[in-house]
Chain A
Amino acid sequence: MVFSAKLDSDGDTAKITLNGELDSAVAGEFKDVIEKAAEANPQKLVLFLSELSFMASAGLRVIIFAKQKMGANVNIYVIGATGPVLNTLQMSGFDQAVFIQDSYSD
């Protein structure tokens, strides 16, 4: 499935919706969107993952990059990650570092 990362800058919250399969071939697109989101100096980053069917470590590295780019004080929310993708986040200790939720409301 083709990958896409769509940014919605909503006040001080950057919302990014990921679709498809996130591997190292397309991780650069995600990174570009993070850089664009960072320009607005958001206080919160919300990643919507319910339509993401695959995430390789390249995707995890972009999340690390997001934290480093936006600053340690910016909280990252990961919404709707499904079974195996959620499992990857947990295996890599990301559940200690980001807020993993089923749904999100402002």
Chain B
Amino acid sequence: MDTLVIPAKPDSLSLIRQYVAKVAEAAGLNEMANYQLCLAVDEIATNVITYGYQENGQSGDICLRADLDAEKLTVIMEDTGIPFDPTAQELPTEEDLALPLEQRPIGGLGIFLTIKGVDEFRYEQQGNMNQNIFEMHLVS
């Protein structure tokens, strides 16, 4: 499968989603699974763009590649922005999700949607590189 290397800028999000939708379709994911994977990658890419690079006055690229085997589709996102582990962040609790809107904490929803939406999500640090790994199981 193709690799996508793209500047870590907000304008890139649409192209990132198009790439993920393409690999998801090639893997035979259904509409909901395709969407959930696109959403998950979009959310993490948004964090990389906002916090990994821009807020630190840095610029850089995001690299996306995909691996397909008999059991799963794996999408791997790599960047060299500041180290950031989404799995170490505090997520909204059940209580938070039941709060009236005007009392809701603003943060955490993106990573929450990522983790809920894909079959497996993990973060690894390889040297100075952040690796965000998304897995979707294939239905046989």
Contact = CB atoms under 8 A, between A and B. Distances in A.
Interface of A: 21, 23-25, 54, 56-58, 60-61, 63-64, 67-68, 72, 76, 83-84, 87-88, 91-94, 96-98
A80 to B, nearest CB: 17
B25 to A, nearest CB: 15
Interface of B: 10-11, 13-14, 17, 31-32, 35-36, 38-39, 42-43, 46, 49-50, 92, 96-102, 104, 106, 109-110, 112-113, 116-117
B17 A25 contact: no
Contacts of A91: 112-113, 116-117
B35 A84 contact: yes
The 10 closest A-B pairs by CB, nearest first: A93-B97, A25-B10, A67-B101, A84-B35, A57-B109, A57-B110, A97-B101, A24-B46, A72-B102, A23-B13
A17 B117 CA distance: 26
A49 to B, nearest CB: 14
B30 to A, nearest CB: 11
Contact of B38 (A54, A60, A96): A54
A56 B101 contact: no
A97 B99 CA distance: 8
Contact of B46 (A23, A64, A94): A23
B113 A57 contact: yes
Contacts of B49: 24
Nearest to A28: B10
